[in-house]
Amino acid sequence: MIRLAITLAAAVLLASCGGGGGSSGGGGGGGIGFASLPAASTLAARCIAPRMGTDPITGVAYPDTLGTLLDEQNWLAAWTYDTYLWYSEVPYPAPANYSNAISYFNALKTSSLTASGAAKDKFHFTYETPVWEQLSTSGVQAGYGATWALLRSTVPRHAVVAYTEPGTPATSSGAALARGASILRVDGVDLVNDATQAGVNVLNAGLFPTNAGESHTFVVQDQGSANTRTITMVSANITSAPVQNVGTLAGGTVGYMLFNDHIATAEPALISAVTQLKNANVSDLVLDLRYNGGGYLVVASELAYMIAGPARTSSKTFELLTFNAKHPSVDPVTGNTIRPTPFQSTAAGLSTTPAGTALPFLNLSRVFVLTGSETCSASESIINSLRGAGVEVIQIGSTTCGKPYGFYPTDNCGTTYFSIQFKGVNAAGFGDYTDGFAPQNGATTGLAANAVLPGCSIGDDFTHALGNASEARVAAALQYRANGSCPTPSGLAAAAKAKTPFTTDGELFKNPFLTNRILTR
């Protein structure tokens, strides 16, 4: 599980799993080198602390047997050498230099950079398996039901509410938090100006509670108000509502939906939303993905189909997965022959909708997608796959995160590991958006031509509710729809040109499952 942090100097995601340190080495130190390791399957489930009994989520008996730290490290090395997309760019780390399996895993990745100078692999992470299983199947995690956005990470900091979940402590009568509310103090510590590590620790503990039942006090200033107020919230196990604010704009001709997470419960919610908009006879759709970092790829395929319909997607590739050079034709995880993934026209049965249920569709030739820097992975796959099928995607917002990669979550000894194993390309063979998709009037230097989309670069607008016709990104989409013009660029693109660290997009803190592209076996 992660801890989401305000630091003294910047906003950073800090991993709470594992510990210890170490550095890469070329061999020795208790290791035998990649090429000399046996197959990962023969090393799996040899654990320092074997689990007993059955998994409470899956009901399957744990496969663990008693092993050593070296057994766990050797499994990680062999698994990486076999399935990691850039396995040939990983120098062999000597296991003896690492005090636990997770610190060793953190060394098993490429250090190469993208064309923009960013790390090629920014997406290496782990979860405690029980936490991963709970989140991935139900969207449940401890919190208040408010997602925070950090608009300025250094003193004077600025943190606001990006959105809330209905029926949670954040939206209760005692708190009544809404989008745009600023957080000024947490448990007596000044969020804006406190420059001590002790203060930062208090801020993180209050903003991101570890468990349900924690009580924390906040001083907040609501959007548009000159006054402050003090509230106390008790953390709870929060169930995400991944699809919100479904409705119509522009006299009922334009549909809108806020889609925040590709989790299992999104499947019936998306079916309901599309059915509602179909019954409203909308002729256009504004799909708000600004905070959607990803999740299950099959959910992305379902939504893309429901937008485009069968005429545009029949017999076409939603996404073709490519693995490392060792596996040009066979998926190294499932053992199946690699074939193009079609657009999913029936429910996968991830939640309450029975598998095989025919999906509704809007049959649209274009879609307006609202994006931000947090739009990532499976969300980018929706953009890319629709364009590959000939649907016009008009991008309104900021450059997306740039993650055409994905994982098969893999458990070993109670830790689920996420190591990039594949890259996805659309029906046109395009998948080169490692630095994101950007609107044509945004910051496009260095991007592939096919990663620059029609549309407008517009920063996030925390002064209006999501889905409101006056919210900056929604308004820009409606303006572009009306006459093909854009407002003056704002947000990330404007900040980049002005060389300022402040943007109106902010940095959201979400769990890694919600910011990736995940395949089920």
Q: What is the per-residue pLDDT for 501?
A: 43
Asked if 232 and 248 sit in the same domain, the reply is no
Strand partners, 517: 295
Tell which of 188, 223, 239 closes a domain.
239
Distances from the Cα of 311 to the Cα of 211, 212, 226, 364, 391, angstroms: 48, 47, 53, 10, 11
Asked if 34 and 56 sit in the same domain, the reply is yes
Q: Which CATH number characterizes residue 162's domain?
A: 2.30.42.10
In a domain, 122, yes or no: no
Q: What is the per-residue pLDDT for 9?
A: 30
In a domain, 133, yes or no: no
In a domain, 131, yes or no: no
What is the SS3 assignment for 475? helix
In a domain, 117, yes or no: no
- Whose tokens are 């809007």? That residue is 362
Strand partners, 416: 127, 411
Asked if 70 and 212 sit in the same domain, the reply is no
Q: What is the per-residue pLDDT for 11?
A: 29
Asked if 106 and 167 sit in the same domain, the reply is no
Range of 476's domain? 243-518
Q: What is the per-residue pLDDT for 510?
A: 65
Asked if 165 and 193 sit in the same domain, the reply is yes
In a domain, 275, yes or no: yes
Q: How many domains does the chain divide into?
A: 3
What is the value of pTM for the model shown?
0.83
DSSP string covering 238-292: EEP--EEEEEEEGGGTEEEEEE--B-TTHHHHHHHHHHHHHHTT-SEEEEE-TT-
Asked if 370 and 435 sit in the same domain, the reply is yes
Tell which of 222, 239, 256 closes a domain.
239
Positive or negative, the Cα torsion across 426, 432, 438, 441?
Answer: negative
Asked if 464 and 488 sit in the same domain, the reply is yes
Asked if 341 and 488 sit in the same domain, the reply is yes
Asked if 91 and 148 sit in the same domain, the reply is no
Q: What tokens does 163 get?
A: 């959105």
Asked if 382 and 511 sit in the same domain, the reply is yes
Asked if 343 and 484 sit in the same domain, the reply is yes
In a domain, 157, yes or no: yes
Asked if 402 and 296 sit in the same domain, the reply is yes
Q: What is the per-residue pLDDT for 28?
A: 32
SS3 of 280-291: CCCCEEEEECCC
Q: Which CATH number characterizes residue 436's domain?
A: 3.90.226.10
In a domain, 136, yes or no: no
Q: What tokens does 340 get?
A: 């193009």
In a domain, 119, yes or no: no
Tell which of 239, 263, 284 closes a domain.
239
Which parts of the chain sit beneath pLDDT 70? 1-31, 135-139, 491-504, 509-521
- 79 CA to centre of own chain: 24
Q: What is the per-residue pLDDT for 99?
A: 97
d(CA 364, CA 359): 15
Which helix or strand (DSSP H or E) is residue 313 part of?
A: helix 310-313
Residues 6+ apart with CB under 8 A from 145: 164, 165, 166, 167, 168, 169, 170, 171, 236, 238
